[in-house]
Structure 1
Amino acid sequence: MRSRVMKAGAITVAAVMGSVLTGCGDGNEPTGAKDGGSPSASRNDEDRDTTAVRAAYDKTAEAESARMTVRMKLAAEGETVTSDGKGVLDLAEGDSVMTITAQGESLEQRVVDEVLYQKTPGRDAPGGKPWAKIDLRKVAAQEGVNNQRIGDPARTAAYAKAITDKDVTEVGTEKIDGVNTTHYRVSVDVTRLPGGDRMREQLGPTLPMQVWLDDEGRLRRQQMDMTVRTAASASAKPDTGAAPQQLKMSTVMEFSDFGTEVDAEAPPAGQVADMTDKALQQS
């Protein structure tokens, strides 16, 4: 079951969020929450907060690349799977190189030109190939979000456009890896996002999100906690490998070392087994 949950989670995140790299929060308590003030002051604060959050995606993308750590918690069918990852991310193209550890097992993961590649030591893909690949464009098309490239800055900018003044609340200030940040709670109207109608079916009307911005307005942490409803196969039977119908997902990505080098290359074609069709059947 765990492999099915992990695969369903990866495919759902790829289609819904435009990324297959997710994680879970660490539960740190924020400090320095805002005090109450006059209505006009509160209005100005809300405007400032919304402007900061909406601008964060562009300011982060301007750094071109970053080191990233990822933590993920997936729960379905009464079981929970956790994973940790670290690597580097091209913020402009969406390419990445990561090492993921889950349930005591590590795998190498790359995203290159919107294709996900995974290699698990000691476990070959079909045909004895060391690498398996999934075409994320086909996954996105099946999920109804095929109108923009996965990883395209325009796609992440869509989040900013979906955020209004009533959707942003400043929580306080925190340090992340020694860096001063401001913590915001954000509620995104999913119908304003690309593929919003499909996302509403899976997530409900809003996407709860938390972001931590540094003094330059860049994302240092982004956290999401959501319940994803997946489509049930009419022909699916128990223990056939079909994806679970509901996933609880707790995710966080943390960014540091902006401007770091990213060397993401696809494995040699002869070493890769295409698992896209199988993944689509389980998504």
Structure 2
Amino acid sequence: MRYKGTKAGAIVVAAVTGSVVLAGCGDGSGSQVEGGGASPSASRSADAQEQGTTEVRAAYEKTAEAESARMTIKMNLAAAGKRITSDGEGVLDLATGDSVMTITAQDKTIEQRVVDQVLYQKVPGQNAPSGKPWIKIDLEKVAGQQGLSNQQIGDPAQTAAYAKAITDKDVTKVGTENVGGVSTTHYKVSVDVSKLPGGEQMSQQLGPTLPMQVWLDDEGRLRRQQIDLTVKAPASASAKPEGSASAQQLKMSTVMQFSDFGTEVNAEAPPADQVADMTDKALQGSRQQS
């Protein structure tokens, strides 16, 4: 059971870190609007929609300028008939994706770090089978097994690719809302998965669109983001007939909230002699369940 929970935690963290980039939508220029799809409403609505698209696409660059932030995460994960709900808080390096967090899930408090796309977890009072207090999982390898590229784990250099996947017809302004005492503008965003790097394979797992919601402050920075995913097992990873009841599906809803921009982040890997590498166990569990 510990391995299954750990693997699920790795998938959650991979998706959470990746969703920061997915919401990025900024290519650094802030001037081009890809696609130019016309709104079916009046000209004024079309102009407003184009402005909203520009703001959403520029959000990552503007948020990244702060270099770091404090964040909270609420996650709901359902897979193989089981549901995991977790809450986390900590700090995030917006340039590298490194983070230091405390996660509470299944009545356990987990000390967690992500350093160079490697997840480290420590449950107080528990050790890995090797007797070491920390376990680690290579998120890049896990994503590869799930059929997702490294770009879904949080490589800030790839934000331009996501920006190009969003057009005027993909962004809808919901209204203004207060988030953590800050006035924000709420947008619904639908990313065309086929336009992302590796989009053909991703479409088989995520479907044609990736639904997100973002709340931007007056400086255009992310204050809150919600992403809802249904991930199907890659066809190549399963010999079972398509559509069989045993086919693997992972449903996940993640809400992240950002504050205290510019806060200090000290994300360091634990000493190697205190860490047990559980990446292979996570990959084996993924293959068995698919």
Question: What range describes the TM-score normalised by the shorter chain of this pair?
Answer: 0.7 to 0.9
Match of 1:215, SS state, is coil
Q: Show the 5 A alignment for 1:131-142.
A: 131-142=134-145
1:249-282 C-alpha deviation (Å, 9 max, x unpaired):
1111111000000000000000000111111222
Match of 2:126, SS state, is coil
Q: What is the match of residue 29 of structure 1? A: none
Q: 1:52 pairs with 44, 55, 75, which one? A: 55
Between 1:94-103 and 1:197-206, the stretch displaced more is 197-206
Match of 1:128, SS state, is coil
Aligned partner letter, 1:266: A
Percent of aligned pairs sharing the same letter: 74
Q: What is the match of residue 18 of structure 2? A: 18
1:209-248 C-alpha deviation (Å, 9 max, x unpaired):
000000000001110112211246549xxxxxxx981122
Q: Show the 5 A alignment for 1:35-46.
A: 39-46=42-49
Q: Show the 5 A alignment for 1:169-188.
A: 169-188=172-191
Contact map agreement 1:144 1:195 (CA 8 A) in 2: no
Q: Name the count of aligned residue pairs.
A: 260
1:282 and 2:285 aligned: yes
Quote how far apart the aligned CAs of 1:137 are: 2.2
Q: Distance in 2 between matches of 1:176 and 1:152?
A: 27
Contact map agreement 1:6 1:74 (CA 8 A) in 2: no
Change beyond 3 A, Cα 1:211–1:264: same
Change beyond 3 A, Cα 1:281–1:16: farther
Quote how far apart the aligned CAs of 1:155 are: 2.7
Change beyond 3 A, Cα 1:201–1:5: farther
Q: 2:207 pairs with 198, 204, 210, which one? A: 204
Q: What is the match of residue 167 of structure 1? A: 170
Quote how far apart the aligned CAs of 1:2 are: 8.8
Change beyond 3 A, Cα 1:3–1:75: farther
Q: Distance in 2 between matches of 1:9 and 1:202?
A: 19
Q: Show the 5 A alignment for 1:227-238.
A: 227-231=230-234, 233-234=238-239
Q: What is the match of residue 113 of structure 2? A: 110
1:269 and 2:248 aligned: no
Aligned partner letter, 1:223: Q
Q: Distance in 2 between matches of 1:65 and 1:247?
A: 30
Q: Distance in 1 between matches of 2:9 and 2:125?
A: 23
Q: Distance in 2 between matches of 1:96 and 1:57?
A: 17
Change beyond 3 A, Cα 1:244–1:140: same
Match of 2:84, SS state, is strand
Quote how far apart the aligned CAs of 1:13 are: 5.8
Aligned partner letter, 1:53: V
Q: Distance in 1 between matches of 2:171 and 2:160?
A: 16
1:82 and 2:85 aligned: yes
Match of 2:220, SS state, is coil
Give the RMSD, CA atoms, in angstroms: 2.6
Could you list the runs of 5+ residues in structure 2 that have no partner in the other structure? 21-39, 241-245
Q: 1:93 pairs with 74, 86, 96, which one? A: 96
Aligned partner letter, 1:176: V
Could you list the runs of 5+ residues in structure 1 that have no partner in the other structure? 21-36, 236-242
Q: What is the match of residue 247 of structure 1? A: 250
TM-score by length of 2: 0.82
Match of 1:87, SS state, is strand
Q: Distance in 1 between matches of 2:15 and 2:106?
A: 24
Contact map agreement 1:148 1:155 (CA 8 A) in 2: yes
Aligned partner letter, 1:11: I
Q: Provide runs of 4+ in structure 1 moved above 3 Å.
A: 140-150, 231-235
Q: Show the 5 A alignment for 1:144-155.
A: 144-146=147-149, 148=151, 150-155=153-158
Q: 1:256 pairs with 251, 254, 259, which one? A: 259
Change beyond 3 A, Cα 1:244–1:13: farther
Change beyond 3 A, Cα 1:158–1:253: farther
Contact map agreement 2:3 2:282 (CA 8 A) in 1: no
Q: Distance in 2 between matches of 1:9 and 1:214?
A: 30
Contact map agreement 2:53 2:171 (CA 8 A) in 1: yes
Q: What is the match of residue 7 of structure 1? A: 7
Q: Distance in 1 between matches of 2:6 and 2:133?
A: 19
